[in-house]
Structure 1
Amino acid sequence: MVESEPSLKPKPRPIVRIGIVLISHSLLVSIICCTAGVVALLLLPVLAKNTYISENALMPGSAHPMLSSQDVSEANKFVQEITNSNLIPTGAGIGIPGLIAQHMEGLGAEVSYHKFHPELNKFHPLHFFSGPDHGKFQENWTCSSYGINAVGIIRAPRGDGKEAIVLLTPYNSVKISLGEALSLGIASSVFSLLTRVTWLAKDIIWLAADSQHGEYAAVEAWLRDYHTPLFGAEMCHESSNLYELKRSLVTGADVSDVFRRGGTMAAALVIKVADRSEEVERDTLTIFAEAANGQMPNLDLINVVNYLAVHGQGLRVKVEKLWSLHDSKWLKVLGETFQLIGKVARSLNPEWKFGMPVADYVEGTTTLASSLYRQALGVPTGSHGAFRDYQVDAITLEISPKYFPNNKGRKNEFLLRGGRLVEGVIRSVNNLLEKFHQSYFLYLLTSANKFVSVGVYMIAFALLVAPLPLVAASLYSDATKQDFSSDKDKPTLCSPSVDAISFKSWKWLHAAKTVFVVHIWSVIVALLPYFISQVPDCTPTSSLVLWILLSVFSLIFLRGILGSSFSIINVSQLQNKEWALLKSVTISAVFVGLCLMSVINFATAEIGALLIVPMCLMATPLISDVKGLSPRSLTRAACNLLLAFVGFPPTAYIISKGLLEGFGSVNGGDFWNWAESLWVWNSATYLYETYQLVHETTEYSLDSLSFTISISVQLVMNQSEKEILSARSLVGRWKATVSDSFQH
């Protein structure tokens, strides 16, 4: 009888075979992808495109400006009246809010007053994603410390009251500056014009925000009451100063106690005039657009402002740059290299438009770095950020005028230019039949008229994180092969049982347990500042040291309770099998975390990938490398220590600030102040810092990282010995504070 041929195994699909090849050559693929990712990031200024108007209905510059010299003259008188109010003693007159309200009412607007109080804006872990803990007053607040916003509304003759455009002019009601008075003058001239026009289809809201407690707080309080009104008892029944103000501000004016509202906000413009004492070449407009967690307004709004400012009013438009990189020699060398490559490419094919002049590359890179840095911080760059919390497109227009101390003609010209710019932007937004949606919301600016879209800058991020799943799969494959080979060498009389196979397939749970334990520790680290911030008389340096010490103690305590996967494993086993599983699980968690963070704030994920990915790829057990005593192992241990030291959040911040601003201005408490600003603004970057610390701890194992942490703590301790000595006494006060908090 003819024996049947053994059945051939089916070949895997092409995509599976490609994956197997990439996993088997993960080291080479990692080097290529990381190098390509860094090069792609440096190429972003070269790949930037010119801005353009996506929404045809905007039609910027299609109509001639209607703002006249008469409007400017009236605005100039208003500015003079505002500046003269500084000479009046406090309480002698109706004050600046009264003057603004009188002017609004005289122009024919509906006037109302919005009272707000300074709120306690501190870190609260349970309210991190839902915003500040509203309703809590500052410790020393009084009824007389209320801020009063003046609000004027023009009802659109061609509208139905369902949409509105907001003009915001922050000012200090205690002592107003010349720049704040000029910004009020620009808004006044435009407001005066808009009360007479017939083409207006959206309501105009002029918010004169009282910024004596901070301009962001004033705008945020008004927006909160605009969208979510609160109904409750009045906190200050005995205080009659606000009611007297309402009666005496405008004689015979229709001032309502009811909070007046317009329609849904289509856009908002924050008008600011910079106080300058030096003479500049020409009037300059600086655009600020970054909001919380890297949110940006629709690019069309910036494009309209840039087009009208340059082509309509002849202003010089710029965005912020990272000036510390402007004079870098390596950046100029890089620009010269790209310029040379561009010349060679054009010589081969004239249609290849690659490369750019060195000066343009340096300008574009410094602007791109600033845009990336400001988005990564997650902190708004102005009061326009309060509007983005309500999905309203808003930007800040900061105009820097020429020096005109006593030149009335020059002041009128400046008010005319600024007013016509704001008029043109309002006219363009007024033409929209729907909200901004045509252009980009995810972009990076390289200049006022050039940008990098999300489809381009995601390439660099994708190349940086691409090696992580490949390396994780390769490590897991190697660990399972070791298990299979070790079981194959053992003498056995029968085939392995199903229980044994299933037990080996779940070996990765030991590594997952360690990663889970360290993630629990990260939650504790993120919550510790809530208790530390309540310790009285605690300086930033002492708070930072206390944070680090309590984090280390909590890690040791947590490990003692929950245990660790490394408690009964020697170094050789750790290096061969268990370490590979731990690194595989950790790298998988890092990959998922980076991808999630790229959705929340891409800039933070990009900078985090530059720090974490090399750390993940090069991490090995430090103890085994030190005991190896070979040049290769010692070099690898030195590189890992350097990466762990530089990647440790406090030292990374100190080093970056020292490189940007000089090490002479660096203090150990700067990191605490920076972290405090992050959690006050509910920035996801704060959570990402603890996340980075978690995976750094896991990568270098719980035993090996103690040496790195001790070095970092010593660096902070050397900043101020006196602060460290006082930190011991703070531990006792911290315990008492924690107990009081739990009792409360």
Structure 2
Amino acid sequence: MKSLAKQDTQPRPRLIVRLGVFLASHHILFSVICCSAGIIALFLLPSLAKNTYLSENALIPGSANPLFSTEDGIEANRFMKGIEAVAGDSIGGIDMANFIAQQIEDLGAEVCYHKFLPHSKHFHPLKFFTSMTNDMAIQPNGSDINFGINTIGIVRAPRGDGKEAIVLVTPYNSQRVQSNELLSLALGFSVFSLLSRAAWLSKDVVWLSADSQFGEYAAVSAWLNQYHNPVFLSHTVTLDTKMYGANHIYDGSSENKGFKTFKRAGTMAAALIFKIGETRRYGDRDSVMMYAEASNGQMPNLDLLNVIHYLAVHRQGFRVNVAAFSSLLSSAWLRVIAEIFHTLGSVLRKINPDWKLDIVVPDYVEGAANLANSIYNQALGVPTGSHGAFRDYQVDAVSLEFSPTFHVKNENAKSLFLLRGGRLIEGVVRSVNNLLEKFHQSFFLYFLTAPSKFISVGVYMIPFALLLAPLPIVAAALADGRNMEKTVDELIDDNKADGITDILQSKGGSWKWLQAAKVLFVIQLWAVLVSLIPYYITQIPDSTPLQSALIWIVLSVVILIALYVIFGSPYSAGVEWKLLKATMITSISIGLGLMSIINFATAQLGALIVIPMSLFSRPLKASGMSFLPRAVLLASNVAIAVLGFPPAMLLIMKGLSKGSWIGDIGDFWVWMEFLWEWSSATYLYIFLVHLPCWLLCIHVLLHPCHQPAEAKMKQE
């Protein structure tokens, strides 16, 4: 009687404990439901996109009549003819820089030069997260090394205090200048000329004519590095002649000594990079392509994109586009998914009119293609233009590429295009000029499904959370090692509900956990060494990408075998596959959590591959299953393991983005080289999270699956 009374008075565990045990006992079903829901939620994102809107009332785009007139367009044509004549006789771009500087000086604005050398891109593990600053090397007199010359004009705001500035950037290749680049320079000069006479300016305006012979990003990055990190040398003459080349690129009067010093304006409020692309032979109107992705998934404030879109579409009649995966636009399977969601949304809207999920099929396909491109560019971690150099200094910047539909020799169409383009840039400058503080009201974390539609961070985190939810449950179920079908009441009756301590002590789990942790440590150490090998491979002269990739693979295999000889292989240590899998899932949870802070898009794409691979991996020699389930398990595990291999993942990304499904191992080396040159955190994710997970999954699949000695004794 006393024992019965004691059992009745024993407190029942909390609801969250009972729920945890219930989910752990059905972890397979829970994993299938969460992974399926996460993938479905990811495909639903284009239907959940919202229209963009202005959060900062001070921007008020289009509130003032534009001052850019046909006279400014005539001035742009005059500038274009002048620089076209100079470009024909220019040697090394010096004459073009002199011409631009002279035109800026005639406006009464301040002007200076910036001489820079090409950035030497190479893999350096100790400087991985540093921005791509231009390492300026002072060359001796008479050096024949080619250099670039940026020309900078500054208009001091009549209503400002010099503490803030707006930057306009026009890139051009001084060595092989094209007609569209000359038109870009003419557009930039005409806008700068207008702003030099504007009485409403409260922020300084900087016009950077970027010499992009070494790349647009390199020119802008070098100037920004000098702007924010000034170089002080002991001899002024050395600075003037060697670094900026003032004595070699300008022969003005004694009044022009200001050209020799690097000039600065205030803190940058925003930057706008614009250029005119190749003329399109089709289309009903001129278009503007917006590029916003910066390094490691950084994006400018959404209000800046909204201002550009509003002024371009509703004021100047441009068609605004964002980059998309062209292969998805004609995809049959994506159109089938769109039709399913459209039908489902129509049914749901009849039930509740507030559920607006019935997006039309063409809009869904276009939104999905734009969304895929937005996620891919953010996950790649490489800037899509020179605006990325500004985001490294926390300056909101956007690149615009105009695509005209007229012929270059059509003067009337060209004048009209210059008028509309100039008014667009003037309107953006006006809006930014109205700000009393930096952009902060709108979103910094978002995906674009259209120029006027976005998905906020609160929405696109849902698929990632659903994919991540089963990981702790499955890890707990595998670590328990007992029959999880028992209820909490049965565990209490057996006096086994006190925690994990009893489990570890009764089964010798502490030692097994240490063995599993040692395996994880060895594999993580191997992954670190593999990620550092390219630093030494790049020192080999004249090696092709294929040769470098093969050397990388051979060294990786040799290092793995050596580590297993030193520390012992996972199979010789006698680690149970369940503990090995639980350790793998724990490591994945930590890796994806950290990566979601650095670059969420990378974590999202990685979760789509890594989580199913880790959750459903099971030894291929596992017993206790009939033929059909075992065959399905074998096929699915092998397929997931093959798709999870980094080179195979590269091939899939290449096929979706470029429509090309042909590649080799050398392409993987080129891709990795591209990532580490740009200091992309995706490189670290691939080798410190994804590759160890894949190798652990292979170990689980190939595990001999011997029955533990304790289990054999219990059965006997």
Question: What is the TM-score of this pair, normalised by structure 2?
Answer: 0.90
- Structure 2 distance, partners of 1:645, 1:94, is 54
Match of 1:712 in 2: none
Deviation at 1:640, TM superposition (A): 1.7
For 1:316-365, what per-residue CA distance to the aligned partner results, in whole angstroms no more than 9, with x for missing partners? 00101101011111111111111112222233344432211111111111
- Structure 1 distance, partners of 2:656, 2:426, is 43
Describe the SS at the equivalent of 2:245: helix
Matches within 5 A, 1:329-478: 329-478=332-481
Which letter maps to 1:541?
Answer: L
Match of 2:91 in 1: 90
Give aligned-pair identity as a percent.
51
On the 8 A contact 2:169/2:209 being kept in 1, the answer is: yes
- Structure 2 distance, partners of 1:250, 1:408, is 37
Is there any run of 5+ residues in structure 1 with no aligned partner, and where? 490-495, 707-744
Pair 1:176–1:31, CA change in 2 (3 A)? same
Is there any run of 5+ residues in structure 2 with no aligned partner, and where? 495-500, 705-716
On the 8 A contact 2:98/2:250 being kept in 1, the answer is: no
On the 8 A contact 2:651/2:661 being kept in 1, the answer is: no
On the 8 A contact 2:113/2:151 being kept in 1, the answer is: yes
Match of 1:308 in 2: 311
Name the Cα RMSD after superposition. 3.0
- Structure 2 distance, partners of 1:45, 1:306, is 19
Which letter maps to 2:515?
Answer: H
Describe the SS at the equivalent of 1:446: strand
Residue from 532, 536, 548 that aligns with 1:527: 532
Aligned residues: 686
Describe the SS at the equivalent of 1:581: helix
1:510 matched to 2:508? The reply is: no
1:222 matched to 2:219? The reply is: no
On the 8 A contact 2:167/2:206 being kept in 1, the answer is: yes
On the 8 A contact 1:162/1:264 being kept in 2, the answer is: yes
Residue from 632, 638, 649 that aligns with 1:652: 649
1:326 matched to 2:324? The reply is: no
Matches within 5 A, 1:668-707: 668-690=665-687, 691-701=689-699, 704=702
Which letter maps to 1:315?
Answer: F
Matches within 5 A, 1:234-273: 242-248=245-251, 252-253=255-256, 255-273=258-276
Pair 1:241–1:190, CA change in 2 (3 A)? closer
Which letter maps to 2:340?
Answer: T
Match of 2:712 in 1: none
On the 8 A contact 1:625/1:634 being kept in 2, the answer is: no
For 1:645-680, what per-residue CA distance to the aligned partner results, in whole angstroms no more than 9, with x for missing partners? 111001221244245545575343111111111000
Match of 1:597 in 2: 595
On the 8 A contact 1:171/1:211 being kept in 2, the answer is: yes
- Structure 2 distance, partners of 1:342, 1:503, is 54
Residue from 576, 579, 584 that aligns with 1:586: 584
Which letter maps to 1:443?
Answer: Y
On the 8 A contact 2:115/2:243 being kept in 1, the answer is: no
Match of 2:151 in 1: 150
On the 8 A contact 2:652/2:661 being kept in 1, the answer is: no
Match of 1:633 in 2: 630
Which letter maps to 1:398?
Answer: E
Which letter maps to 2:118?
Answer: P
Match of 2:111 in 1: 111
Deviation at 1:11, TM superposition (A): 1.7
- Structure 2 distance, partners of 1:559, 1:229, is 50
Match of 1:170 in 2: 171
Which letter maps to 1:643?
Answer: I
Describe the SS at the equivalent of 2:6: coil
For 1:355-376, what per-residue CA distance to the aligned partner results, in whole angstroms no more than 9, with x for missing partners? 1111111111111111111111
- Structure 2 distance, partners of 1:703, 1:12, is 37
Describe the SS at the equivalent of 1:152: strand
Match of 1:48 in 2: 49
On the 8 A contact 2:34/2:470 being kept in 1, the answer is: yes
Pair 1:500–1:477, CA change in 2 (3 A)? closer
On the 8 A contact 2:246/2:259 being kept in 1, the answer is: no
Deviation at 1:405, TM superposition (A): 2.6
Match of 1:738 in 2: none
1:538 matched to 2:543? The reply is: yes
Match of 2:560 in 1: 555
On the 8 A contact 1:143/1:239 being kept in 2, the answer is: no
Match of 2:22 in 1: 21
Deviation at 1:254, TM superposition (A): 5.1
Deviation at 1:467, TM superposition (A): 0.9
- Structure 1 distance, partners of 2:504, 2:602, is 45
Deviation at 1:382, TM superposition (A): 0.3
On the 8 A contact 1:342/1:353 being kept in 2, the answer is: yes
On the 8 A contact 2:581/2:700 being kept in 1, the answer is: no
Deviation at 1:42, TM superposition (A): 0.5
Which letter maps to 2:69?
Answer: S
Pair 1:177–1:663, CA change in 2 (3 A)? closer
On the 8 A contact 1:149/1:209 being kept in 2, the answer is: yes
Deviation at 1:600, TM superposition (A): 1.1
Deviation at 1:131, TM superposition (A): 3.3
Which letter maps to 2:651?
Answer: I
- Structure 2 distance, partners of 1:627, 1:177, is 70
Deviates more, 1:635-644 or 1:462-471: 635-644
On the 8 A contact 2:48/2:455 being kept in 1, the answer is: yes
- Structure 2 distance, partners of 1:215, 1:705, is 51
- Structure 1 distance, partners of 2:662, 2:246, is 48
Match of 2:663 in 1: 666
Question: What is the TM-score of this pair, normalised by structure 1?
Answer: 0.87
Deviation at 1:44, TM superposition (A): 0.5
On the 8 A contact 1:102/1:249 being kept in 2, the answer is: no
Pair 1:124–1:703, CA change in 2 (3 A)? farther
On the 8 A contact 1:658/1:664 being kept in 2, the answer is: yes
- Structure 2 distance, partners of 1:40, 1:403, is 43
Which letter maps to 2:690?
Answer: Q
- Structure 1 distance, partners of 2:228, 2:244, is 27
Match of 1:725 in 2: none
Matches within 5 A, 1:99-138: 99-132=99-132, 135=135
Deviation at 1:148, TM superposition (A): 1.1
Pair 1:565–1:279, CA change in 2 (3 A)? closer
Which letter maps to 2:584?
Answer: T
On the 8 A contact 2:546/2:666 being kept in 1, the answer is: yes
- Structure 2 distance, partners of 1:637, 1:658, is 26
Deviates more, 1:425-434 or 1:597-606: 597-606
Describe the SS at the equivalent of 2:665: coil
Pair 1:238–1:179, CA change in 2 (3 A)? closer
Deviation at 1:19, TM superposition (A): 1.8
Describe the SS at the equivalent of 1:379: coil
1:208 matched to 2:209? The reply is: yes
Which letter maps to 1:517?
Answer: V
On the 8 A contact 1:626/1:634 being kept in 2, the answer is: no
Which letter maps to 1:379?
Answer: V
On the 8 A contact 1:332/1:358 being kept in 2, the answer is: yes
Deviation at 1:139, TM superposition (A): 12
Deviation at 1:14, TM superposition (A): 1.9
Match of 1:66 in 2: 67
Pair 1:398–1:375, CA change in 2 (3 A)? same
Deviation at 1:116, TM superposition (A): 0.9
- Structure 1 distance, partners of 2:269, 2:240, is 37
Deviation at 1:76, TM superposition (A): 1.2
Pair 1:264–1:11, CA change in 2 (3 A)? same
Describe the SS at the equivalent of 1:507: helix
- Structure 2 distance, partners of 1:71, 1:295, is 36
Pair 1:57–1:407, CA change in 2 (3 A)? same
